[in-house]
Chain A
Amino acid sequence: MRRRLILFLAAFAWLAAVPAGAASRVPVQVTEARIRWLPGDLPMAGYFVIRNTGERPLRLIGASSPAYRRIVLHRTVSYGRMKPAKSFEIAPGWSVQFTPGGNHLMLMGRTRAIHPGDVVPITLHFAGGGALRVKFRVRGADLR
């Protein structure tokens, strides 16, 4: 019980410590960051829209989070056909959408209990070493 509380407080402190302007190093804007909750230890999907606000092409190469053991980028081949993707190119001024039925982050092996309403930090990693920590809101299974 006590350990759980300490973990919770630690997670809270860590979340609170994330500066809102963490994007300054990587010129991207991330919106609509959300996770579709599923029960048990089933993999969940993370969705967001990412826009390259810089002058140069960006390459999203992965994601990580203290809340999941493994995160894989998935690209839509056609509806219903997914393929793990090594990276996503984002041209200057352009956006890439990660949406239900489309591209998504596959979030596997939760390291702690996660419930709808929670906020989960996920760090997006870019080619060249840039990273951006994004707060994802956990929504219900019936997210659309």
Chain B
Amino acid sequence: MAAAGGRAAWVAALSALLLAGCSARDRGWRTTDISGIMPPLKFTLTDSKTGGVVNAHDFRGKVVLLYFGYTHCPDVCPTTLADLAAALRELGARARDVRVLFVSVDPARDSAAVLKEYAAAFGPEVIGLRGDSEELHRLTRRYRVTYGYGRPDAHGDYEVSHSSAVYVFDTRGEVRLLARPTDRPADLAHDLGRLIAEG
């Protein structure tokens, strides 16, 4: 993947933010209600912690937060994950019914070992997932997530641009909410609490 070098590999047509703007529904949710706008949770990826293959079915019964990023991102990804971790802390013991799936859009650099340590740094509910480029492509296309690789600098370091949205799925794997960087952790915690209570 990284060999693609400077060539941007844009993978989707619609931005998540555009979609969110179309949703005028509000049933007391504090983040953005996107029920029915996107397909149910479905993926096959490798869990960086166990090394085993996991799919959406393994997370039935949990409220799932799906976020795409990469570990060499020193600011935006950790800031988002820190916000999600803060929301989970507000939930207290109820956080055990939530999983944060951090899917790497940079599998070339994000080895399972790096991804595992990175995810663990944000809490036990955070799971680092990676897949080959085909699996990643399938998943990002399903949720209209965009990402692209910047030109490597003199040191071989490169940036990966990616969507900042976090998708929230209920315990049955249906898409429900879109959390954005501007959403406060307290508001996300409120909505997650409601989804947990729905069962």
A-B contact count (CB 8 A): 81
Chain A, 56-89, contact with B by CB distance < 8 Å: what is the 0/1 string? Answer: 0000000000000010001000011110000000
Distance from A29 Cβ to chain B, minimum over Cβ atoms (Å): 23
B75 touching A143, Cβ below 8 Å: no
Is B4's beta carbon under 8 Å from chain A?
Answer: no
* B contacts with A, residue count (CB < 8 A): 28
Contact with B along A76-109 (1 / 0, CB 8 A): 0001111000000000000000001110101110
Say yes or no: B71 contacts A79, CB within 8 Å. Answer: no
CA A37 – CA B121 in complex, angstroms?
A: 9
The DSSP consensus for interface residues of chain A is: loop
Q: Is the CB of B86 within 8 A of A144?
A: yes
Inter-subunit contact A101/B75 (CB<8 Å): yes
Are A40's CB and B74's CB within 8 A?
no
Indicate if A15 sits at the interface (CB-CB under 8 A): no
Are B164 and A80 in touch, CB under 8 angstroms? yes
Query: Is B159 positioned at the interface, with any CB of A under 8 Å from its CB?
Result: yes
Binary interface profile of A, 93-130, with partner B (CB < 8 Å = 1, else 0)?
Answer: 00000001110101110000000000000000000000
When distances are taken between beta carbons in the complex, the residues of chain A under 8 Å from B81 are: 141-142
Q: For the complex, is A36 an interface residue (Cβ under 8 Å from B)?
A: yes
B118 interface residue, CB < 8 Å from A? yes
- On whether the beta carbons of B181 and A142 are closer than 8 Å, the reply is no
Closest 8 A/B residue pairs (Cβ): A141-B121, A39-B117, A45-B74, A100-B79, A43-B74, A142-B82, A80-B164, A101-B79
Instruction: Name B's A-contacting residues (CB within 8 A).
Output: 71-72, 74-76, 78-79, 81-83, 85-86, 113-114, 117-118, 120-123, 155, 157, 159, 161-162, 164, 181-182
Q: List 8 A-B residue pairs with CB atoms under 8 Å apart, sorted by A's residue number.
A: A42-B71, A45-B78, A80-B76, A80-B162, A100-B78, A107-B74, A142-B85, A143-B78
Known: A80-B164, A141-B81. 4 other contacts (CB 8 A): A39-B117, A42-B74, A141-B122, A142-B121
